[in-house]
Amino acid sequence: ALPLNVVDAYVSTRDGREIVRGVSLEIREGRIHVLMGPNGAGKSSLAQAVMGHRNYVYKGKLLFDGEDITGLSTAERVKRGLTLAVQIPVEVEGVRVSEILVRVAQKFRGTKTMKEAMQVIREALEAVGLSESLLAREYMVGMSGGERKRLELARIIIQKPKIAILDEPDSGVDVESIPKIAAAIEKLAESGTGILLITHQPRLLTRLIPDKVYVMLSGRIVAEGGIELVRRIEEKGYTPFRGE
Ligand code: ADP
Ligand code: MG
Ligand code: MG
């Protein structure tokens, strides 16, 4: 299966600032792909543009299951099975975590009863190491960075998309939670979801062995390969890639 192909993508802001310059990626179902790069490389912009965010202009092909989806709205992309765990989840005041997660379970997993929905939700919270007491809180409101990232990942696990782009699911997360996050991502991939894991640090990748690694600098892919690229970044940072 070849669900998502980013082909020679150029991403710019509405006012014409070019951020991504000719990137091609292939994200396959059930596999883990990693996109690494320093801050400001354009990783989040690429992710947002792939989702059809209106702040960005995407030029190039974007094929999902062979179909060009560049003309589709974000909602239509999500309906087809593409989703993004954002780098900075937004607070939804006045709406409880449970309400949002139950809606996600109904919409994407077809749960019929509250009991069914709660079972799916409990499994997801457990997978990311979050307590059920969070369900009564307002969505993302007043949560720590780590709680937000884990709740965002739980939402994705409930959704079970065909393709999930995870934008720095490890940033702001405390060290003890990292193995849980890694295991949750691995489980998601095992269930068939194709993953593009965006990160600028290698710490999730001591347990999680990716099928493919892309390194992005200044809007371009400067290297692609396997886990050896992660090890190189671990040892020497991004400097060795700058000259390539
Ligand atoms: P990364 O996720 O790799 O850290 P980003 O995609 O967030 O990088 O940002 C890449 C560059 O593009 C940064 O210099 C950022 O300031 C700029 N940028 C991103 N989005 C916008 C936007 N909507 N308007 C203006 N500049 C933007
Ligand atoms: Mg950044
Ligand atoms: Mg980013």
pLDDT digits (tens, 9 = 90+) for 200-228: 888 899 889 899 999 999 999 999 999 99
What's the confidence (pLDDT) of residue 244? Answer: 57
Please state the rounded mean pLDDT for residues 155-166.
Answer: 97
At 39-70, the pLDDT tens digits run: 999 999 999 999 999 999 999 999 999 899 99
Across the strands, what pairs with 33?
A: 196, 212
71: Cβ–Cβ under 8 A, 6 or more apart, which residues?
Answer: none
Q: Do residues 212 and 24 touch, judged by C-beta distance below 8 A?
A: no
Ligand 1 pocket check for 193: Cβ under 6 Å: no
What's the confidence (pLDDT) of residue 1? Answer: 60
Q: Which residue minimizes the CA distance to atom 19 of ligand 1?
A: 45
What's the confidence (pLDDT) of residue 243? Answer: 75
Closest CA to 45 of 18, 71, 81, 8: 18
Q: Do residues 109 and 191 touch, judged by C-beta distance below 8 A?
A: no
Structure tokens at 44: 């989040």
Ligand 1 pocket check for 35: Cβ under 6 Å: no
Ligand approaching nearest to the C-alpha of 168 = 3
What's the confidence (pLDDT) of residue 128? Answer: 93
Ligand 1 pocket check for 43: Cβ under 6 Å: yes
Q: Ligand 2 centroid to 39 CA: how many Å?
A: 4
What single-letter amino acid sits at 152?
A: E
Please state the rounded mean pLDDT for residues 188-210.
Answer: 92
Distance CA 60, CA 211 (A): 24
Across the strands, what pairs with 9?
A: 23
What's the confidence (pLDDT) of residue 61? Answer: 96
Ligand 1 pocket: which of 17, 18, 36, 45 to mutate (most atoms <8 Å of CB)?
45
Distance CA 9, CA 61 (A): 7
Q: Say whether pLDDT at 142 is over 70.
A: yes
Distance CA 67, CA 60 (A): 13
Proportion of the chain above pLDDT 90, given as a percent:
86
Instruction: Kindly write down the DSSP assignment for every residue of 10-76, as one continuous string.
Output: EEEETTS-EEEEEEEEEE-TT-EEEEE--TTSSHHHHHHHHTT-TTEEEEEEEEETTEE-TTS-HHH
Q: Ligand 1 centroid to 166 CA: how many Å?
A: 17
Q: Say whether pLDDT at 38 is over 80.
A: yes
Ligand 1 pocket check for 48: Cβ under 6 Å: no
What's the confidence (pLDDT) of residue 196? Answer: 98
At 71-99, the pLDDT tens digits run: 999 999 999 999 999 988 999 999 999 99
Ligand approaching nearest to the C-alpha of 36 = 1
H or E stretch including 165? Answer: strand 163-167
What's the confidence (pLDDT) of residue 85? Answer: 95
Closest CA to 197 of 236, 227, 240: 227
For the chain, the average pLDDT equals: 94
At 95-109, the pLDDT tens digits run: 999 999 999 999 999
Q: Say whether pLDDT at 165 is over 80.
A: yes
Q: Ligand 3 centroid to 167 CA: how many Å?
A: 7
Q: Ligand 1 centroid to 216 CA: how many Å?
A: 13
Q: Ligand 2 centroid to 133 CA: how many Å?
A: 31
Q: Say whether pLDDT at 15 is over 80.
A: yes
Distance CA 219, CA 18 (A): 8
Q: Do residues 182 and 203 touch, judged by C-beta distance below 8 A?
A: no
